[in-house]
Structure 1
């Protein structure tokens, strides 16, 4: 995560140069001051799945951590003490990871893009701002650990008092207002960046609520045991799965925009296509990498879910539910949390860009929706297939023992 932050800071520091360095060969989108903010925003969006992955990774070992914190509470530790301990326990490794992001940034500088151009500026680095990126990484880890410590003592199987609320939809209203009146008030490039930022934040913020709504609709209308089990489980605890899948909306948004942008470039540009298609290719690979990280994040969530509820899962099988039904329910839970967001993101990105560019692109958008949904489903299938051995082990009868 800090490696991407350092890359974004390096791009930002290009504005400090009085004239363009002669030996600097970066992608056209970074070289051009008009498109450079969009490139910086794209790099920051690539860090979003990693931020969500850290949040999910902390959940691994929750059961053992809860028992350890409970023992500390019995020994006299207060809730504030446990929060501080959680912040230190997660913040220090995150700080070390932030330092390790420096060699990651250096490796990114060595990667060559189309026509030998670099992805990250080589003539300028983050400088003293590197310290800020490292500290921000450690601070975020401390915040995650602090939140983890505040949840100690809560029953993990207890249904939340209140389902997720769609407050992030207010960002969509702000985006709609900007789209309607922004051209008369704000620079067009700044307006585009603001709209993209608002859409990504809105889709990510709506992820838990979307997961809850989809799960509720499915659970109330299906008689299939696996789908019912997946829907009820996601309905009872939608926030962790929703947070794990939140960035898939940004991936869909990217795919939707590219599905219209690339055909537009091919149709309107004849001599300088590489200038536009190079950054598009990088964005496409970045979206694919982000999707793999999201799948890993969901894998972490599902792993912890299996380990934390192994006794309940074993009881299901002992009561007559086939193990294959339980295994299929894990896959369906992943699908319910990701595919709707991917489809919405691709549709919003494609239709929004075609509207701004006044281009009829229904076929391209439908293709993006199908491909993004299929890729999300494939990632869920891969993750659940890799987790199947742990799930089958959790279903064994010996897990019914209480001592």
Structure 2
């Protein structure tokens, strides 16, 4: 019976009542799609870490348990990084095949990833292919962290110079040979770092999404409160009111969640093109598994249903007060105290603080901003009402005082996004300075014969037709190429010096800084992604809640219009109702984000971060005002009825 009555009430709301239902549907669909993106992004980084774990071997517990020797180093071509894995089976052992290979590589064999094999066939042999004699086949995707990754696997003998020579133990450039019991390694340090960064980004995106999802349940809240209050007054029990509300909210939210899942699935091909950690993504990494998808599709309707029930307290406790449109009691200052307490923690944190603690602190700060927001909006309304000099400002101020929660829902997306922008904007690292001058290649000599290695380097470069000045600097051989050396010349020199010192590859100063450069680039891409998602939530939330607010108050707007209030005054009051809390809460949240980020700044804020923050402010304010302007035609429509009927 509740289901039938609920459906009748939904349809009985008329065309504009159904518009409110569709607004809720659209809000839930958008929130679900973006929530799936946040969850899938974190799982995708985990999948990358797992696929690359075999390159970061765990030493065997004892010499008798070892079955193979593994080492890793990095090579470069055309300013692209190549991951080189050296593998050697110990005598008498039969180790398992590495991921992406049909068998363990034999000594002298070289297996290339599809991207590296294609590049080796495309470029002249003396620039790349000559580094990989004995090509035996192509690696499968199971061996790659991302599509198109450049990977080479060398089969070696355990006593080969590449497996016995001393290497520089630097995980950014190379890892020395390790005896392993299996190729089941563990995620590398950089993979773990990216996982933590993705977790922080996830918190920065998921909390506004959850707030948006909860707000979606309260769209057209006044219409629903009045309708259900009338049912309470004619005899409906509190249980029936709650059941009808939950049924309506969950049905609409379930449909929206399914639509959001479809929307996300359609957007995956575009999302795979976002390059991070060296390259794009496999589509399978960004598609959530069945359990994850089912969890989101269950959690979103439950959140919406719970939020709808929480919003029913006035209806259940005092239906007559709702019917009479009485102003609810003011909220308490304890909301602001909770926010101040959460912010007091951040000066105690720093770059050495556990990432888990930072995540918790950020999540609590987010939630406290959302908790204190309605109280601040109500205070803004009281101040504006006492200083109003015109009817439009007075109407806007009284609206803020009468329903600060609704006004907060309109600007909450931008306020929370302002916190994200303030937190990330000034943390954006500056780019590494480039070293001027002609390119030069360096090779570490660890076998104690740098003079001999320097002489061999001169002969090899001369034979390859590369003009270079070769000199010895302690245990490093440096080949300074001519000022006219282009990419092709540098790659010919790399190929000529490829096996000059076993286990080492020639690198430029830019190669040595490449990891830091890549981290900077990825942090900037991540910042853009997080802010894009946050602003999409903010602008969508503002547009939907603004239209919902007009629907909620359509009877009041129509009566004011009948009383002679010009439409321009009503529209100006509507704009002021958004603009006042937007300026105060948007600016305050940005400053709050900067305050929370201050303990984690490694150096002075850079120009890029400041420009990012300024752009966020402009885009955010313009987006919210533009989204709010979309409700003006609806305002004109609801005030055209000369005899507005009560809901």
Q: Same fold by TM-score, threshold 0.5 exceeded?
A: yes
Please give the residue correspondences for 1:37-56 in structure 2 after superposition, counting only pairs within 5 Å.
Answer: 37-56=196-215
2-structure distance, mates of 1:149, 1:332: 28
From 361, 365, 370, the equivalent of 1:199 is 365
CA distance in 1, matches of 2:49, 2:357: 23
Structure 1 match to 2:577? 333
Following TM superposition, by how much is the alpha carbon of 1:227 offset from its aligned partner in structure 2, in angstroms?
2.1
1:230-267 Cα shifts (integer Å, max 9, x gaps): 122111110122134323233112222333233x3326
Tell me if structure 2 keeps the 8 A contact 1:95–1:141.
no
Aligned partner of 2:192 in structure 1 is 33
Q: CA RMSD in A?
A: 3.8
**Residue 214 to residue 120, structure 1, CA distance change in 2 (3 Å):** farther
CA contact (8 A) 1:52 1:297 kept: no
Distance 2:230 2:245 in 1: 14
Q: 1:119 to 1:161 in 2, by over 3 A?
A: farther
Match of 2:144 in 1: 23
Q: Select the residue among 308, 315, 325 that pairs with 1:145.
A: 308
2:285 equivalent in structure 1: 122
Distance 1:30 1:300, change over 3 A: farther
Alignment of 1:104-123 (within 5 A): 104=263, 106-107=265-266, 109-110=268-269, 111=271, 112-114=273-275, 116-118=279-281, 122=285
Tell me, yes or no, if the aligned pair for 1:29 and 1:279 is still in contact at 8 Å.
Answer: no
Distance 1:192 1:24, change over 3 A: same
Counterpart contact for 2:380–2:400, Cα < 8 Å: no
Verify: 1:4 aligned to 2:169, yes or no: no
Deviations 1:201-247 (Å, cap 9, x if unpaired)?
22222211121122222222231332222122111110122134323
Matches within 5 A, 1:252-291: 252-262=418-428, 264-266=429-431, 271=514, 272-291=516-535
Deviates more, 1:197-206 or 1:347-356: 347-356
Cα distance, 1:337 vs structure 2: 2.7
- Report deviation, 1:379: 2.3
Matches of 1:286 and 1:123, distance apart in 2: 16
Could you say if the C-alpha distance between residues 285 and 231 of structure 1 is closer, same or farther in structure 2, counting changes exceeding 3 Å?
A: farther
Determine the structure 1 residue equivalent to 2:338: 170
Looking at structure 1, the residues matched to 572 and 325 of structure 2 have their Cα atoms a distance apart, in angstroms, of 21
Q: List alignment gaps of at least 5 residues for structure 1.
A: none
Q: Is 1:398 matched up with 2:639?
A: no
Equivalent of residue 132 in structure 1, options 288, 295, 298: 295
Deviation, structure 1 residue 170: 2.2
- CA gap of 1:140–1:183, structure 2 versus 1, over 3 A, is same
Aligned counterparts of 1:137 and 1:31: Cα–Cα separation in 2: 33
Q: Distance in 2 between matches of 1:389 and 1:127?
A: 42
SS of the residue corresponding to residue 143 of structure 2 reads: coil
Q: Distance in 2 between matches of 1:348 and 1:61?
A: 31
Decide whether the 8 Å contact of 2:268 with 2:287 is kept in 1. Answer: no
1:178–1:254 Cα change, 3 Å: closer
Q: Deviations over 1:135-163 (max 9, x none)?
A: 21121122133235544432483211123
Query: Residues of 2 paired with 1:354 and 1:292: CA distance?
Result: 26
For residues 215 and 67 of structure 1, what CA distance do their matches in structure 2 show? Answer: 24
- Distance, in Å, in 2 between the alignment partners of 1:68 and 1:248 is 31
Is the partner of 2:630 in helix, strand or coil?
Answer: helix
Deviations 1:43-63 (A, max 9, x none): 344344443444444445556
339-348 or 54-63, which moves further after superposition? 54-63
Distance in 2 (alpha carbons) for counterparts of 1:8 and 1:42:
10
Cα distance in 1 between the residues matched to 2:189 and 2:297: 23
Choose 358-367 or 139-148, whichever is displaced more: 358-367
TM-score (norm 2): 0.54
Counterpart check, 1:308 vs 2:552: yes
Shift of 1:398: 0.2
Contact 1:6 1:102 in 2 (8 A): no
The CA distance in 2 between the partners of 1:226 and 1:245, in whole Å, is 19
CA distance in 1, matches of 2:606, 2:49: 42
Given the two structures, how large is their TM-score scaled by the length of structure 1? Answer: 0.82
State yes or no: 1:347 paired with 2:510. Answer: no
Deviation at 1:370, TM superposition (A): 5.0
Larger Rg over CA atoms: 2
Q: Aligned-pair distance for 1:82?
A: 1.3
* Distance in 2 of aligned mates of 1:305 and 1:289: 24
User: Distance in 1 between the 2:331 and 2:234 partners?
Assistant: 34
CA distance in 2, matches of 1:361, 1:277: 16
| 1:95 corresponds to | 254
The count of aligned residue pairs is 400
Of the three residues 626, 636, 645, the one matched with 1:382 is 626
Compute the displacement of 1:402 (Å): 6.9
